[in-house]
Structures are given as structure tokens and as C-alpha cells.
Amino acid sequence: MTAQSTGQVAGAGTTKRAFLELDELKVSFQTEDGIVRAVDGVSFALERGRTMAIVGESGSGKSVTSQAIMGLHSRRAAKISGHAWVDGVDIVTAPEADIRALRGTQMAMIFQDPLSSLHPFYTVGKQLVEAVQAHGEVPKAEARRRAVTMLDRVGIPNAARRVDDYPHSFSGGMRQRAMIAMALINNPALLIADEPTTALDVTVQAQILELIRELQVEYNMAIVLITHDLGVVAESADDVTVMYGGRVVERGGVDEIFSRPSMPYTWGLMSSVPDMEADRGKRLEPIPGQPPSLINLPKGCVFRPRCAYAQHVPDGRCDTERPDLTPVDEGHDARCFLTLDQKRTLAVKAPGTEEVA
Amino acid sequence: MTTPNLTDAGPRGASTPVGDVVLRVRGLQKYFPIQSSFLRRTIGQVKAVENIDLDVHAGETVGLVGESGCGKSTTGRTMLRLLDPTGGSIEIDGRDVTHLSMRQMVPVRRSAQMIFQDPYSSLNPRHTIGKIISSPWEVQGVNPEGGVKKSVQELMARVGLNPEHYNRFPAEFSGGQRQRIGIARALALRPKLIVCDEPVSALDVSIQAQVLNLLEDLQNEFNLAYVFIAHDLSVVRHIADRIAVMYLGRVMEITDSDSLYRSPRHPYTKALLSAIPLPHPSMRGQRERIVLTGDLPSPSNPPSGCVFRTRCWKAQDRCATEIPPLSEVSPGTSVACHFPEPAKEPVSFTPPQA
């Protein structure tokens, strides 16, 4: 297990770094139209056993962030700066061979679309065996035994028989389970789940989220959960990072974020979803307009063009100056010029919290 | 089989206007043949839609919900004759359209239109927005008052698009804007009924809310009837007046939205609702979650009796032998179950007899 030893040696030399730590991570792509600043300075820390949800719309940079953590960006196409430490190894600067060794054993990823992440030409078993053998000298029979055990663990009925089936004969929920089995077969310490349940029905979603929670406890995994579904966040996350236009606009503990959301974009997200607990006739309050182009970000606050609260900030600061992430409370930061008082009084309530002020 | 609550409007909120029946479906069936790869002989049938009765009134939204593969999209398409029904009858705006030819269907389509899920594949990339939105007029040979361009631009403004973008192509628009183009096209003929097949599921949440509000405004303005097909239960609850829950091609329960969420009567509805994530972290663990084991049975070989019995925790011997009919358990609520859940208060009308 060269991967783990590299990780631990590098980790030992640094002072108390979190298991996963991002420090001013930036990813940009050069295109014909200009430079796309997909991720523009993201920082957070995550320990094993905890779940960080990254919330945002398409184009907010949440998937690009997760791909950077996995070291999946081509260094030729993407310009990456800042740091992304996984167990002490900085993915941004580490040699490709070291990152490859980390992938699978220390970190793994599950995707939204299980059909396109499984190879249609090989049986599920063969793909699992390959995942085991890629990271060590494991005899084929032993690898196959582990494949069956893992499939059984993720709840595939008749695992010993289904291991020889092709992905197309699995249902959507079973494919997602098979992909989770493949990601977890080498017992990774960090799992990145990019919209893991978006393509699934609610009943299957509930099963998969429950499964991920169980496996998290069993393997003491750190989980980065990328989603746009606030209900999934409310159920599964410990901490929340809200992203907009490639930056973190708010972050904090899940209870804090839902009880006291502190910036207009987060408010907009919360008032955009129909509230199952509220009166049915209540009109939704969407965020007007559309997400910004990452090539031509607005001057000043990136959310300014869609923000209904800018008139509360004096001197048109929102138009000219980029706000910093400033503390709202301990462990809770927001990127907004509104004063603390304004953040409290203007706040929109999260769904399901009619009584919470 | 007719059930009284489906033919009558039943007791409903005062906010919902009860209008004429614009869509009446009886015993609708849609089977797809399974052919052998060699001789193309039919060796079986996928029973995608089985025996659906439904009335949709002017100004009303009826939601069709269920898991993928339950037949809700096929139902929507068959209702508009985009697919030919295997059995049953379809009446649109008082006219029996079950056996009309495609040519005979053309005038019927003035009163019934569709909005599709994928705003990328449902718009021709080589046509301008103006051409896309005006194409229904062209097909129908209609000359809108004030000219085509002016009328298209009025529609564009109505759905929240910039009328100056008349000559642009779909590729220049975002997903939410494309969905607005699809809505404008569906509105062009001032239809009475629009079947919306997952109209917001491809959109980001903030854009989703914009489109839902637009659909509501248009309904109020034009007294439109919607058949709203979606898998997102919170969206359906928000927009629909009545909801039909489908499972394996059949309607398991149909009732008004508030009753459905307050007091689901079919075990499947109950399980489906219990799977929705609770909206606030402080509510974690507060709901008893009913986990359905196993996957959806194959619609080519559905279970005998009640199709849900293989995953139902209340199933008994009777469920395997006898198909439960969709029958009224309280005014406005029909359930296809031998052992429906008891109704929860507040119930302002007579208690169920089942």
C-alpha cells in the first residue's frame, strides 16, 4: 500500500492539517472566448467521519472543485492554484503517480449518472475486480470474493449471482449501488459524491442516502456531498458550503445555515423550493435573472445583478467592491455587505421552519 | 369502470374554478409489443398503461406522479394521441379522438398542446425562436391578428423573453429560457389543455421557481387545464389541485393535493411520501420512513392481483388473487387497495366507508 504510506509520511511533516483541506483553490480554463474562472478561491476543511455539502446551481463551480480534489483536471487544460490537501498530500502540486495511488485507496468518487460511469462491455464483477487489483497484488479469487461481499454490503440481492451480470441488466438504483460498491471496495477515507441521487426516484434516493450514511460510520469516511437539493443537505450534511459564481458565498454548520441563512443568495435558494409543510397556495419567490457568465463576472459582488437587497447597502458598494467572507457567528461566514442586524431582520425562512425566527 | 369522484369535480378549494371537462379518459391502455430479435414475432407485451380513468377540467391542474417506469409519461403522450392507445377512449374538448387519423388530429391539437422535459432536444436548433414559436400557426394555417412577428413578440414578452431576440437561435439561450420558448410555442394556439411532461426537472432550483410561477400565471390568465407529470413530489403538491399516484401503469390513488399529503390512503403513496427528505436539519429522524424493499416489478410480467403487493407490508392472500378496483373511500378520494390506510383529520366531510 504505497499510497497510504506516502500520504502518512507527508501528513506527518505538517502541522495539524484537516484530513481534507482546501486553501484558496482556484481553477480556470483558457477558452476561445476568454478565461473561465470556474473556481475562484475556495477554502474549507473536512475531517474523517463528517459530511460537507457543497450547494449551488449549475456553473457555480461545485463539480469543478470536486474534480480538482480528485486531481482529475488535465494540467495542460486547467490552470490550478492554491492548495488541496488530502491526508497531507497537496493534490495541486503532487506528481501524477502519487495522485493516482491516492485515488481509489484514499479517495473515491461517485457520479450522478451510474450508467455512463460503468463500462457497458464488462460485467459488474469484472469492473470491481479490476478496481481491487489496480491497487495491489490481490489474487483474482480473493478480489472476486471481495467484489461479491461489497455488492452484498451495498444491498444487491443475490450478489453472488448478479456479480456476473452486465450493467444494463441492473436497474437505476442497483447501478448506483454497484458504483458505490466500486468506489468503496478499497476502503477509501474520502468519498466525493457528485449529485449521487439526482437521477433517482425519491424512494431509491432514501435508500442510497441511508446506505451512504451507514458506510460512512463503518469506514469513518469524510464525505463531500455535491447537490442542489436542500432536502438532501438538511438530511445528510454536517457542514454546508454554498457556492455561487465560483466562490464560497456562505458556509457554516448545517443547523446554522438552515436556521440563520445570512446572505441573499442562500435566502433565494430557500424560498425557491416549494415547502411541503407550508400552505399550498403560497407563491414561490424565485431568484430573478440567471447565473453570471464565468468569463465576464460582474464588477463588485458577483450576486449583485440578481440581488434584491443591494439598496440596503450604502454608497453602492455592492456595485464596485467584492465583499469578503466575514463571520456571522462562530464557524459561520457569509460573503455580503449587509450588516449583521440586516442579515437577521431581512432573512428569509428556510422551508419547514415557520416557527423559527 | 366509472367512479363517481372522477366524473364529478368533487369538493374542492374555492380558489379552483370548476370548468368544463376538457379531457376525459376512460379505461386507457397502452401496451408495447416485445418482439423477438430474429423473426420480429411478438413474444410479449409491456403493459405501460393499464385502465386509467381521468377527467381534467378547465382551469385545473392534475398531477401525475410516480417513480420512473410507472407509465406517467406514456399516459401523458397517449392522452394527446402522440402514441396510439391499445384500448379505452380519449375525449378532448368534448370530441372523441380515440380513433382519429393523424390528419384528423390536426384541428384537435389547437386545444391540446404539450411542454416537454428537455428544453435542448425539444427545440429545432436550426430554427430561429420566431420560427419555432410561430410553427403551430403555420401547421394550422392560422393568421394571427396583427401579423406573425408581432404576435410572436407578444407571446415572448408574456413568457418573460426579450422580444428583440426574435431572430436568435435556441443555442443562444439558457435552459430556463429555452423552457420559456417551449411554453410560448405551446401557448401560441391558445389551447385549453397543456400536458406538461417534467417541465422543470432539468432546471436549477431558482429557475424552476420562475417557470412554476409563470405556469401558474398563465393558467389564471387563460383558464388553462394542465396535466402535470413530475417525479418531484414537492413541486407537484405546489402546483396541482388533484394528484393521481401511479404505480406500474395503474392509478393507485387519486385525490386533492392537500388530502394526499396530509392523509395518504394507499400504502404506496404513504411509502412514497415518507421517502421525501425533510426540509430542515432539526427535523432529522422525526418521520417514520417506510423503506420499500426490492425494485419495481417488470411491467411485461406484472404481479397477479394488486401490482404493488410484492413490495407492500400490508399484503395478504387476497391481494394476490383479486385486483383492487379504484374506488371511492371518501368524497374526492379514490384508492385501489383492499386495505387502505385510515383517513387522518382534518376531514370536513363524511368518514370513509371502507
Assess A354–B contact: CB distance below 8 Å, yes or no: no
Please report which confidence band the pLDDT of residue B130 belongs to, taking 50, 70 and 90 as the band edges. very high
* Closest CB to B277 among A157, A231, A277: A231
**pLDDT tens, position by position, B48-72:** 999 999 999 999 999 999 988 889 9
CA distance A253 to chain B (A): 10
Please report which confidence band the pLDDT of residue B5 belongs to, taking 50, 70 and 90 as the band edges. very low
Residue A8, pLDDT score = 41
- Amino acid letter, residue A98: D
- How many whole angstroms separate alpha carbon B332 and alpha carbon A192? 46
- How many whole angstroms separate alpha carbon B30 and alpha carbon B45? 10
Please report which confidence band the pLDDT of residue A205 belongs to, taking 50, 70 and 90 as the band edges. confident
Sheet holding A34-46, edge to edge: A34-46, A20-31, A78-86, A89-90
Among chain B residues, CA nearest to A282: B238
Among chain B residues, CA nearest to A255: B281
Give kind and range of the element (H or E) at residue A65: helix A62-69
For residue B85, pLDDT over 50 is answered with yes
Residue B290, pLDDT score = 86
- How many whole angstroms separate alpha carbon A313 and alpha carbon A330? 24
**Out of A205-209, B25-29, B337-341, which region has the weakest mean confidence (pLDDT)?**
A205-209
Residues across chain B: 354
pTM: 0.86
CA distance B202 to chain A (A): 11
What is the residue-wise DSSP string for A285-305? Answer: -PPPS-PPPSSSPPSS-TTGG
B106-132 mean pLDDT: 92
For residue B44, pLDDT over 90 is answered with no
Residues across chain A: 357
Give the CA distances from residue A346 to residues A56, A253, A301, A349, in Å, rounded to whole numbers and listed in that order.
Answer: 21, 20, 18, 10
CB contact under 8 A, A57 and B204: yes
- How many whole angstroms separate alpha carbon B310 and alpha carbon B295? 10
Residue B3, pLDDT score = 42
CB contact under 8 A, B280 and A353: yes
* Closest CB to B213 among A204, A276, A284: A284
- How many whole angstroms separate alpha carbon B292 and alpha carbon B258? 24
Of A121, A108, A116, the closest CA to residue A182 belongs to: A108
Residue A1, pLDDT score = 38
List phi, psi (to 5°) of A38: -70, -40
Pairing of strands A332-335, B21-35: unpaired
CB contact under 8 A, A255 and B281: yes
Q: Which pairs count as long-range contacts for A323-331, CB under 8 Å and 24+ apart, including other chains? A: A325/A248, A325/A251, A328/A252, A328/A260, A328/A262, A329/A252, A329/A256, A329/A260, A331/A252, A331/A253, A331/A256
Assess A198–B contact: CB distance below 8 Å, yes or no: no
* Better pLDDT: A26 or A298: A26
- Amino acid letter, residue B323: I
Q: Which of residues 78-107 of A touch B (CB under 8 A)?
A: none
For residue A79, pLDDT over 90 is answered with yes
Residue A154, pLDDT score = 87
- Amino acid letter, residue B238: H
Residue B55 grid cell? 377527467
Residue A1 grid cell? 500500500
For residue B14, pLDDT over 90 is answered with no
> Which residues in chain A are closer than 8 Å to B292, comparing Cβ atoms?
203
> Which residues in chain A are closer than 8 Å to B233, comparing Cβ atoms?
202, 276
Residue A225, pLDDT score = 95
Residue B87, pLDDT score = 95
For residue B348, pLDDT over 60 is answered with no
Residue A173, pLDDT score = 80
B211-231 mean pLDDT: 94
Q: What 3-state DSSP class applies to B306?
A: coil
Which residues on neighbouring strands pair with residue B29, listed in sequence order?
Answer: B87
* Closest CB to A172 among B68, B213, B271: B68
Please report which confidence band the pLDDT of residue A91 belongs to, taking 50, 70 and 90 as the band edges. very high
For residue B259, pLDDT over 50 is answered with yes
For residue B242, pLDDT over 90 is answered with yes
The number of beta carbons lying within 10 Å of the beta carbon of residue B265 is 26
Residue A165, pLDDT score = 93
> Which residues in chain A are closer than 8 Å to B205, comparing Cβ atoms?
57, 228, 230, 269, 272-273
**Out of A10-14, B190-194, B296-300, which region has the weakest mean confidence (pLDDT)?**
A10-14
Pairing of strands A239-244, A51-55: parallel
The angle, 0 to 180 degrees and rounded to 10, between the axes of the packed helices B148-158 and B175-187 is 130
Q: Are A199 and A113 in contact (CB under 8 A)?
A: yes
For residue B34, pLDDT over 80 is answered with yes
Residue B182 grid cell? 417551449
List phi, psi (to 5°) of B33: -70, 145
- How many whole angstroms separate alpha carbon A75 and alpha carbon A202? 38
For residue B13, pLDDT over 50 is answered with no
> Which residues in chain A are closer than 8 Å to B174, comparing Cβ atoms?
290
**Out of A113-122, A141-150, B254-263, B299-308, which region has the weakest mean confidence (pLDDT)?**
A113-122
Instruction: Tell me, rounded to whole angstroms, the distance of Cα A167 from its chain centroid.
Output: 25
> Which residues in chain B are closer than 8 Å to A228, comparing Cβ atoms?
204-205
CA distance B70 to chain A (A): 11
Helix H, strand E, coil C: the string for A322-335 is CCCEEEEECCEEEE
Assess A357–B contact: CB distance below 8 Å, yes or no: no
The number of beta carbons lying within 10 Å of the beta carbon of residue A183 is 24
Q: Are B290 and B313 in contact (CB under 8 A)?
A: yes
* Closest CB to B289 among A206, A259, A351: A206
Residue B285, pLDDT score = 78
For residue B308, pLDDT over 70 is answered with yes
> Which residues in chain B are closer than 8 Å to A352, comparing Cβ atoms?
278-280, 283
The number of beta carbons lying within 10 Å of the beta carbon of residue A163 is 22
> Which residues in chain A are closer than 8 Å to B243, comparing Cβ atoms?
none
CB contact under 8 A, A290 and B283: no
Residue B15, pLDDT score = 40
Q: How far apart are the first and last CA of chain A?
A: 52
For residue A200, pLDDT over 70 is answered with yes
> Which residues in chain A are closer than 8 Å to B294, comparing Cβ atoms?
157
Q: Are A156 and A210 in contact (CB under 8 A)?
A: no
Of A267, A265, A287, A63, the closest CA to residue B208 belongs to: A287
**pLDDT tens, position by position, A107-139:** 999 988 777 788 999 999 999 999 999 888 899
* Closest CB to B277 among A172, A232, A283: A232
The sign of the CA dihedral A344, A348, A353, A354 is positive
CB contact under 8 A, A273 and B234: yes
Residue in the block written with cell 438530511: A235
**Out of A12-21, A226-235, A304-313, A324-333, which region has the weakest mean confidence (pLDDT)?**
A12-21
Which residues on neighbouring strands pair with residue A26, listed in sequence order?
Answer: A40, A81
Q: Are A224 and A190 in contact (CB under 8 A)?
A: yes
Residue A344, pLDDT score = 86
- How many whole angstroms separate alpha carbon A153 and alpha carbon A196? 18
Percent of chain A with pLDDT strictly greater than 90: 56
CB contact under 8 A, B279 and A210: no
Give the CA distances from residue B346 to residues A71, A203, A317, B349, in Å, rounded to whole numbers and listed in that order.
Answer: 55, 27, 51, 9
Residue B260 grid cell? 394526499
Instruction: Name the average pLDDT for chain A.
Output: 88
Instruction: Name the average pLDDT for chain B.
Output: 88
